[in-house]
Amino acid sequence: MLSEKMEKALNGQINAEFYSAYLYLSMAAYFDASNLKGFASWMRVQNQEETMHAMKLFDYVSGKGATVTLQPIEGPQTEWESPLAVFEATLEHERKVTGLINALVDTALDERDHATNIMLQWFVTEQVEEEASVDDVVQQLKLMANAPGGLFMLDRELGQRAFNAPTAE
């Protein structure tokens, strides 16, 4: 059973994860319009991952006999200055999500909710991976600032990323 405080916090995170999915879909649309199909594909995979994260939390809350309360999703940004600006915004966003996950862990510990704490450790690990993969792209984009042809090579590379749903735990 979830405490009221934990239930409310998890519902807030479900909203944050769906917002993340929406944001990455907006970024995919930006890249589609810029004819950077590999970048767009990478962001579509991000969208799928964030949707899966939201549903993982949704299923957890529901499975604990608590109520999932969906909230309105804020409209995301739709324009950026450059591919680098998109990925810098992505990195900033992932760092914000890391803070939200850490706050959830703190709440679980304060509530002495060990089951939720254990479940959230998957998200803690996931955020380390999320930040690292986005930072890798940021660093590559910075390195190719004076070599615009590199953008097309990176576009091809990013287009190879595929969504891999996690196996049952």
Q: Which domains does the chain have, with CATH numbers?
A: 4-158 (1.20.1260.10)
pLDDT for res 167:
63
pLDDT for res 36:
97
- List the chain residues with pLDDT less than 70: 166-169
- Beta-carbon contacts of residue 38 (< 8 Å; ≥ 6 apart): 154, 155, 156, 157, 158, 159, 160
pLDDT for res 168:
53
Which residue do the tokens 């409310």 mark?
Answer: 8
Q: Are 116 and 10 in contact (CB under 8 A)?
A: yes
Taken in order 45, 50, 53, 59, the sign of the CA dihedral is: negative
pLDDT for res 165:
75
- Count of other CB atoms within 10 angstroms of residue 147: 9
pLDDT for res 143:
93
Q: Are 82 and 140 in contact (CB under 8 A)?
A: no
Query: CA dist 150 to 14, 62, 147, 154, Å?
Result: 37, 46, 6, 6
SS3 for 67-102 is CCCCCCCCCCCCCCCCHHHHHHHHHHHHHHHHHHHH
Nearest Cα neighbor of 122 from 64, 169, 70 is: 169
Which residue do the tokens 């891999």 mark?
Answer: 164
d(CA 166, CA 164): 6
pLDDT for res 169:
53
